[in-house]
Chain A
Amino acid sequence: MPLVKLEGVTKHYESGDESVYALDDVSLIIYKGEFLSILGPSGSGKSTLMNVLGCLDKPTSGFYQLDDHDVSTLSCNQLAAIRNNKIGFIFQSFNLLEYATALENVMLPLVYAGVNIKKRRAKAAELLKRVGLEDRMSHKPNELSGGQKQRVAIARALVNDPQIILADEPTGALDSKSGAEIEALFSELHHEGRTLIVVTHDISLARRTKRIINIKDGKVVEDEILDRSSAIYRRREGD
């Protein structure tokens, strides 16, 4: 059963007199537990694809199914619920609340999920411990390094046990050492069985994932599986 299914998804904008196709008839299937990258140069449509996959934006046309839900027909509030409990976002610029501590930032999705304070605190602390920041819980973002901020953002993305983790250039704002740490963390999450989608223009980062979807001018131009030994792809090939 696919976790994500896109069929003929199109997203276009009117720019002056011309129509710009950010996504042009994209069809895609992603299975649970995959670790894949969406690769493409700037302006290729990869960020638009991530926004559509993350329910941050609606496609102009086409069908999008996420975990058995036809997402294209959902209301604003239903989409908010999907984003809250099925998707975890990791952004290039971290997007943490500057006035909140690391713990409070990680707790935030649980506030919108209606989880009580005790459980929120315990779960957020557990996740910060998981990303190695147990001694930075009460620090505010301006007291953390770039790598630490991104780990807080990862903890926040994981706190609701989402079906998919969407990362947009997650190492783009980091030095190479911190970048490597984040990549290692992603590998760990993949081995735990989580589904990770990394949007990047960095081929070396993409090469560390198990599948690369190459996108250009809004179209999927290549869908390459790098590690056929993975159980997911063995099963798919057997289908």
Chain B
Amino acid sequence: MIPMLQQIVQMLFAHRLRSLLAITAVVWGIVSVLVLMALGEGFYQINARQFSLLMSDTQLALPEVTSKPWKGRPARREISFTEPEFRLLEKQSAIKAVSVLYQKWDASVTDITGHTLPGYIRGVDNHYIDMRKIKLAAGSRNISRHDINRHSRITVIGWQLAQQGGLSIGDKLRVNGIPFIITGITRQSEGGMSMGREDNQVLIPSSTFTDLWSDKPVQVMVTPAPGISGVVLRKNLLSFFASQKHFDPSDKRAMWLPDFSQDVKFFTTLLRGIQLFLGASGAMTLAVGALGVANIMFLSVTERTREIGVRLAIGATPTNILVQFLLEGGMLVSIGTVIGVAVSYVLILLMNQMGLPDWLGTPVISVDAVLMALSVTVVLALLASFFPARRAANLIPVTALSARA
């Protein structure tokens, strides 16, 4: 095998231009597959982050109005919970974490000089930012358990509000005239799923919120214990709320427990579909590259018919000839693949350094993409080399020898 490999390297070097063209065709194909798939992966990841709440297992629960009478109580009763009532959920074994949410739309939000800002207030627990997968800008500090216990007057604000008010971390803003220190700002484009004007929100500790207003929480967010499915969790929550507030456990209008699983499925299918489309486009280019290799291999067999005749005359078997041409094709494709993968990594690195639009995300070459490209290449290389190799191996020595040199 080693002498054969040496001969092949020698032959490829002897026909530099032809080899270079074949390798270029493969490099082009590999780069197309990997770069397109990397762009698809970046697009998937940025969008998956945008829809992170949908894709997480966090469950929202919002009190609404009953639609059925229950045990002597009429329908159309408005349901509401106090914070201690929601907190009882923390004792449920199916639940890992609970975060209540207060909301105030009509509070006065101003900067320290008294200019009105378009912000609204949300009173949240220390889990809230993590549960909502909200990313904070560098230097930010999350609302902590300590802040809740101490009723701290600190706030984490939306990036748009910060931009509009020219606010930075450490600055102050006023809520109904009371100063709050800004400890954090949400990161642009990565604020989690947008629910309302979140980029203008002013998050304050829930305990501080209840000091200012006597409102009830508008919703609760729940993270299930490990192994608890969304279906089981929603069923448990509904029966818990029904027993607390005395409504029919089958009355789905009393509490809104949104099920995002179908949306998640739709979004992931859509995003993966886009990725698949990009990968398939690249694979087509790779197939064209393989056709180039096949073409060049056929040309090689035709040009070297006399050489094949000489080899057969001095003792090569048809299998020797078949293996030689398979290895030649294989080597061209292997060299092309290695260069293609390297070029793809460099291109993606350059793209990331140059900076791409936010909506495209950060392209990344995944191991899966490389493995897919490699497996497609192996199959195409075998196909591209096999038919020319078989033609070479089937040549009759005397016919091959009589070919024009």
Spell out A's residues near B (CB within 8 Å).
51, 54, 56-57, 76-77, 80-81, 83-85, 89, 91, 93, 95, 97-100, 104, 108-109, 111-113, 117, 120, 156, 160
**A137 → B minimal CB distance (Å):** 16
Q: Which 10 A-B pairs have the closest CB atoms?
A: A84-B315, A99-B14, A112-B315, A57-B398, A80-B317, A56-B397, A56-B398, A109-B314, A95-B310, A51-B398
21 contacts between A and B (CB under 8 A): A54-B313, A56-B401, A57-B396, A76-B317, A80-B312, A80-B316, A83-B313, A83-B397, A85-B315, A91-B310, A95-B306, A95-B310, A99-B10, A99-B14, A100-B10, A104-B7, A108-B314, A111-B7, A112-B317, A113-B315, A117-B2
How distant is the Cα of A120 from the Cα of B11 in the complex, in angstroms? 20
How distant is the Cα of A112 from the Cα of B319 in the complex, in angstroms? 11
Closest to A116 in B: B3
Known A99-B10, A112-B320, A117-B3: A83·B315 in contact at CB below 8 Å: yes
Contact A77 B315 (CB under 8 A): no
A contact residues around B316 at 8 Å (CB): 80, 112
Name 6 extra pairs, CB < 8 A, besides A84-B315, A111-B7. Answer: A51-B398, A80-B315, A83-B397, A93-B405, A95-B306, A104-B10
Contact A57 B397 (CB under 8 A): yes
Spell out B's residues near A (CB within 8 Å).
2-4, 7, 10-11, 13-15, 306-307, 309-320, 396-398, 401, 405
**B326 → A minimal CB distance (Å):** 17
How distant is the Cα of A76 from the Cα of B316 in the complex, in angstroms? 10
How distant is the Cα of A156 from the Cα of B310 in the complex, in angstroms? 11
A contact residues around B311 at 8 Å (CB): 108, 112
How distant is the Cα of A117 from the Cα of B306 in the complex, in angstroms? 26
Contact B310 A77 (CB under 8 A): no
How distant is the Cα of A99 from the Cα of B304 in the complex, in angstroms? 12
**A123 → B minimal CB distance (Å):** 14
B contact residues around A104 at 8 Å (CB): 7, 10
How distant is the Cα of A100 from the Cα of B9 in the complex, in angstroms? 11
Contact B3 A77 (CB under 8 A): no
How distant is the Cα of A77 from the Cα of B393 in the complex, in angstroms? 11
Contact B317 A89 (CB under 8 A): no
How distant is the Cα of A85 from the Cα of B60 in the complex, in angstroms? 83
Contact A112 B14 (CB under 8 A): no
A contact residues around B7 at 8 Å (CB): 100, 104, 111
Contact B314 A84 (CB under 8 A): yes
**B20 → A minimal CB distance (Å):** 16
Closest to B314 in A: A109
How distant is the Cα of A120 from the Cα of B312 in the complex, in angstroms? 19
How distant is the Cα of A108 from the Cα of B10 in the complex, in angstroms? 13
**B401 → A minimal CB distance (Å):** 7
A contact residues around B13 at 8 Å (CB): 99
B contact residues around A112 at 8 Å (CB): 311, 314-317, 320
